[in-house]
Amino acid sequence: MGRWLARRLIITAVTFLGISLLVFTLMRLTPVDPVDLLLFNLRQSGGLTSEDIARIRATYRAALGLDQPIPIQYLLWAKEVVTNGSLGFSFVTGRPSLDMVVERVPPTLILMGTALALELIVGIPLGILAALRRNRFTDYIVSAFGLSVVAVPSFFLGLAAIYVFSVRLSALPAGGMFTPTRHGVDVVDVVRHLLMPALILGLAGVGPIIRYVRTSIIETLGKEYLVTARAKGLPRTAIIVRHAFPNALLPLITFVGLEVGRLMAGAFVVEQIFTWPGMGSLALDAINSRDYPVVQAFAITVAIVVLAGNLLADLAYGVADPRIRLE
């Protein structure tokens, strides 16, 4: 276990290095100069000569460290990471990029976590139900439901939901994470805000969960030992709970591990529609404005979340099936 963990950590570190290099290089491959983007409004001031503009651009390049050759820029960045734990300062706001990303992590995690929980709560029982009613009407209905919810683009589902639940029924708030006020935050209020975005984000994952659960339960139910158990008169529920479901856990855990990435991507769109204060819009804005330090901090933060998800999935594997050795 210890050796496994050590190896795992090394691999993780290498992955980080890879991601930071990849993102760094990719961002700098873009033919767009961040200083030009930053100063695109400069002209609005009017009256600036081209010398003025050239001088101001040079000032910005130096302040943002963009006057160095790219490999040096990377080394300087890496040095800051190692010595100060700083991932640089945002080109746009001048704030530490890590701060900007980290303050948006909790909302994103809350949204993703709730979506994942909803997925599992809806998906697992439906999957079991479908397996038990295999090839019967209920099975078809459940499977059709699972496939249908994936088939609508979430941005459209989102606006439709806002229209129905906020505009028509006035039942749920149309966006944000809590009712704006300078006073404290109320949990019930957050839950009300969370409901629509989490459901829409989660629904898209229900289909695969139903499928995984259904398939593995059908598979296990056909195994000889369970046929024997059933012949012995063991109740169906007991068989499902004690034998079939634990078997379905394995692919489910894998799925959840991978699901973290999908949820993260889906969250970008959902966050936008429901004005949820997560990382998605920050990342997209940062890419569009070539705010390198923020993109960099974002990629690394996301990688931590996803890799942590994978790691947890691996550990859960060991728990779910002791036969799997972590080697």
Q: Which of residues 34-93 bind another protein (CB under 8 A)?
A: 36-57, 59-60, 62-64, 89, 92-93
Residue 32 tokens, joined: 């767009």
Question: Which of 98, 115, 199, 313 forms a contact with another protein (CB under 8 A)?
Answer: 313
Give the x/- contact pattern for another protein in 161-180, rule: CB under 8 A.
Answer: -xx--xx--x--xxxxxx-x
Report 191-230 residues binding another protein (CB under 8 A): 207, 211, 219
Q: Which amino acid is at 217?
A: I
Our finding on whether 154 is near another protein (CB under 8 A) is yes
Residue 92 tokens, joined: 């746009």
Cα–Cα distance for residue pair 213/216, rounded to 1 Å:
5
For another protein, which is the closer residue by CB, 167 or 187? 167
Residue 7 tokens, joined: 């190896």
Question: Which of 24, 245, 292, 298 forms a contact with another protein (CB under 8 A)?
Answer: 298
Our finding on whether 246 is near another protein (CB under 8 A) is no
Query: Of 89, 78, 81, nearest to 34 (Cα)?
Result: 89
Report 102-131 residues binding another protein (CB under 8 A): 103-104
Question: Which of 118, 253, 294, 297 forms a contact with another protein (CB under 8 A)?
Answer: 253
Our finding on whether 138 is near another protein (CB under 8 A) is no
Q: Which amino acid is at 75?
A: L
Cβ at position 156, least distance to another protein in Å: 5
Our finding on whether 327 is near another protein (CB under 8 A) is yes
Report 254-273 residues binding another protein (CB under 8 A): 254, 257-258, 261, 264-265, 268-269, 272-273
Cβ at position 145, least distance to another protein in Å: 11
Cα–Cα separations (whole angstroms), residue 277 to 23, 87, 88, 266: 23, 21, 22, 14
Question: Which of 143, 189, 190, 229 forms a contact with another protein (CB under 8 A)?
Answer: 143
For another protein, which is the closer residue by CB, 8 or 230? 8
Question: Which of 115, 206, 240, 306 forms a contact with another protein (CB under 8 A)?
Answer: 306
Cα–Cα distance for residue pair 312/124, rounded to 1 Å:
20
For another protein, which is the closer residue by CB, 238 or 308? 308
Cα–Cα distance for residue pair 135/154, rounded to 1 Å:
29
Q: Which residues, including other chains, have CB under 8 Å from residue 58's CB and lie 6 or more apart?
A: 67
Q: Check if the beta carbon of residue 92 is closer than 8 Å to that of residue 85.
A: no
Residue 61 tokens, joined: 């390049």
Phi and psi torsions of 179, nearest 5°: -65, 125
